[in-house]
Amino acid sequence: MSDIWKSLKACRAAQADTRIEALFAADPDRATGFTTRADGLVFDWSKTMIDTAARDLLLDLAREAGVEARREAMFAGEKINETEGRAVLHTALRNLDGSVVVDGQDVMSEVRAIHERMSDFARSVRDGRFAGAGGAITDVVNIGIGGSDLGPAMAALALAPYHDGPRTHFVSNVDGADIADTLKGLDAGTTLVIVASKTFTTIETMTNAQTARDWMAASVADPAAQFVALSSDVGKTGDFGIDQTRVFGFEDWVGGRYSVWGPIGLSLMLAVGPEAFDRFLAGAASMDSHFRSAPLAENLPVLLALTGIWHHQICGYPTRAVLPYDNRLMRLPAYLQQLEMESNGKRVAMDGRDLRVASGPVVWGEPGTNGQHAFYQLIHQGTMPVPCEFILAARGHEPDLAHHHILLAANCLAQSEALMRGRSLNEARALMRAKGLEAPEMDRQARHRVFPGNRPSTTLLIDQLTPFALGQILALYEHRVFVEGVILGINSFDQWGVELGKELALKVEPLLKGEASAGHDASTLQLASLIRALRG
């Protein structure tokens, strides 16, 4: 652990009795000084215990870790995903005018060509030139899981006000309930099925794709004609019988959880149209250029990352909550769970040694105000502080319902204020007294009504949830994960931790079918035999 880590820990220890409110009292400019703006986004990180000393140390930490050089290496197409020997270039998918060289070849002409083919195909579906056996496409079913599902599923919901194409549905779970519930009520003749899988081997996706194909074959003469494939293994898509004109490929330097910007975003493009999709890309590209060029002290992804490092690795808070006060960002916490936890949930550093600090935190959340009536009790009064990341748009998309939006925003601001301020014992007693409670009852209840406060939060404020703004937000979080990963010294772009369970599932499957399979523990054997008995 370097001296900077030690100084940060010491800085935190010295704060033991200080409150966030005291930082505001000591510095009348704290709100503006700890608010960073980029391209219309406003990031207020003043309601944290990061003071100027901690901020400077955190920036030193980023410098010491080589964030700037690593950032340049990523954008330049160097193979920074060292355990898989790959470049990391999801940024190239949204920088369509740029030029990036990998292994001596400019990869951008291929990126542009695929983007153009996707746009042409989306236009032909949306205007009815591409039709199913029963006529114009009314429904699109995206079959994929993880990064091949969460990005487009989250973004299609987020951009509902821009949705003017066919209805979109997302099937991910191998639980047959998912595909059964989705296909129920759809007309196979007017449905387009997208099989989205980077590897085109993922068991959940392949099983669902086969089921969809059987469903389609029951009423459509040429079911394969209504299938599309998105994959970086174009060869395997041919084995599934999908015509190459409807196969959209991408390179292995696009990680699954970073893939919504390219072919994996096709369902989103079909929903909102190529023009809105391009604005989504432009928002991400604008965040890319901010991230690439802004000094660390004014760099939004860097500062978001540093608040994360401060809260998790320095303060020791085990989780962080992402709380979008935007119902259409309902799936954002799930999307960020994969982005952050699959990227930085690792215990071995890039150099093969054990991490000497905690890996990335547990990320969770729900939209406000719903979460307030579910888990905020714990956030306010539980024993473990949960740093909260609020996200709010100043304007909704429903001008007739502006009063709803004002209430929504008021709740968001009130929560961050309440978390910081809390309510003292005296304040709780005064409130009860005002309500006419007698002394013995007041004594009995007072401590239950105390809020410790001093609970940190940040607020990301945008103007409105447009395609451009959504692109900015997602790129902001992608780069935040990258910066945290560099500071921790880990490779944020592999995901070996998902392999073991997948491999064992293949070995457990025979047990459930009553076939022999060696090497299982007594509990697993017992559960498998109980399931077999119950199934009869």
Q: In terms of CB distance, is 241 or 497 closer to ligand F6P? A: 497
Which of 146, 274, 283, 333 contacts ligand F6P by CB under 6 A? 146
Based on the shown chain and the rule CB under 6 A, indicate whether residue 456 belongs to the binding site for ligand F6P.
no
Q: Which tokens is 178 given?
A: 């998912």
Look at phi and psi of residue 319 and say left if phi exceeds 0, alpha if psi is from -120 to 50, else beta: beta
Largest CA distance in the chain: 80
Q: Which of 6, 404, 502, 507 is catalytic?
A: 502
Based on the shown chain and the rule CB under 6 A, indicate whether residue 331 belongs to the binding site for ligand F6P.
no
Q: In terms of CB distance, is 83 or 199 closer to ligand F6P? A: 199
Q: How far is CA 268 from CA 162, 235, 286, 463, 531, in A?
A: 10, 24, 20, 22, 39
**C-beta of 223: minimal distance to ligand F6P in Å?**
21
Q: Which of 251, 340, 342, 478 is catalytic?
A: 342
**C-beta of 261: minimal distance to ligand F6P in Å?**
14
Q: How far is CA 159 from CA 182, 187, 334, 400, 469, in A?
A: 20, 25, 16, 19, 10
Which of 148, 172, 372, 492 contacts ligand F6P by CB under 6 A? 148
Which of 152, 249, 256, 361 contacts ligand F6P by CB under 6 A? 256
**C-beta of 205: minimal distance to ligand F6P in Å?**
5
Q: Which of 373, 404, 417, 507 is catalytic?
A: 373
Q: Which of 338, 340, 337 is nearest to 366 (CA)?
A: 337
Number of residues that bind ligand F6P (CB under 6 A): 14
Which of 8, 118, 122, 145 contacts ligand F6P by CB under 6 A? 145
Q: Stretches 128-136, 199-207, 244-252, 385-393: which one binds ligand F6P (CB under 6 A)?
A: 199-207
Q: In terms of CB distance, is 32 or 210 closer to ligand F6P? A: 210
**C-beta of 198: minimal distance to ligand F6P in Å?**
4
Tell which positions 89-128 bind ligand F6P, by CB under 6 A.
none
342 is a catalytic site residue: yes
Q: In terms of CB distance, is 171 or 528 closer to ligand F6P? A: 171
Phi, psi of 518 (to 5 degrees): -85, 165
Q: Stretches 35-43, 140-148, 157-165, 325-333: which one binds ligand F6P (CB under 6 A)?
A: 140-148
Q: How far is CA 65 from CA 1, 22, 42, 484, 489, in A?
A: 12, 31, 26, 10, 7
236 is a catalytic site residue: no
Q: Stretches 23-31, 143-151, 208-216, 431-439: which one binds ligand F6P (CB under 6 A)?
A: 143-151
Integer Cα distance of 126 and 357 in angstroms: 50
b/e map 84-100, b = 16+ CB within 10 Å: bebbbbbbbbbbeebeb
Q: How far is CA 326 from CA 11, 147, 330, 464, in A?
A: 35, 22, 7, 10
Which of 15, 172, 492, 495 contacts ligand F6P by CB under 6 A? 495
Contact 50, 58 (CB under 8 A): yes
**C-beta of 233: minimal distance to ligand F6P in Å?**
9
Rg (CA), the chain: 25
Q: Stretches 5-13, 19-27, 139-147, 298-306: which one binds ligand F6P (CB under 6 A)?
A: 139-147
Q: In terms of CB distance, is 28 or 501 closer to ligand F6P? A: 501
Q: In terms of CB distance, is 313 or 337 closer to ligand F6P? A: 337
Contact 205, 165 (CB under 8 A): no
Place of tokens 């064992």: 504
**C-beta of 152: minimal distance to ligand F6P in Å?**
12
Based on the shown chain and the rule CB under 6 A, indicate whether residue 86 belongs to the binding site for ligand F6P.
no
Q: Which of 152, 151, 131 is nearest to 141 (CA)?
A: 152
Based on the shown chain and the rule CB under 6 A, indicate whether residue 197 belongs to the binding site for ligand F6P.
yes
Q: In terms of CB distance, is 39 or 233 closer to ligand F6P? A: 233
**C-beta of 188: minimal distance to ligand F6P in Å?**
24
Q: Cα 52 to the chain's mean position, in Å? A: 30
**C-beta of 182: minimal distance to ligand F6P in Å?**
18
Q: Which tokens is 207 given?
A: 């099983």
Contact 379, 388 (CB under 8 A): yes
Close Cβ partners of 409 (under 8 Å, ≥ 6 residues apart): 325, 392, 394
Q: Stretches 85-93, 141-149, 442-450, 463-471: which one binds ligand F6P (CB under 6 A)?
A: 141-149
**C-beta of 19: minimal distance to ligand F6P in Å?**
41
Contacts of range 35-38, beta carbons closer than 8 Å, 24 or more positions apart: 36/298, 36/299, 36/300, 36/303, 38/287, 38/290, 38/294, 38/298, 38/299, 38/300
Query: Three-state DSSP class for 130?
Result: coil
Phi, psi of 29 (to 5 degrees): -100, 10
Based on the shown chain and the rule CB under 6 A, indicate whether residue 205 belongs to the binding site for ligand F6P.
yes
Close Cβ partners of 526 (under 8 Å, ≥ 6 residues apart): none
Q: In terms of CB distance, is 36 or 81 closer to ligand F6P? A: 81
Binding site for ligand F6P (CB under 6 A): 145-148, 197-199, 202, 205, 256-257, 342, 495, 498
What are the residue numbers of the active site? 342, 373, 502
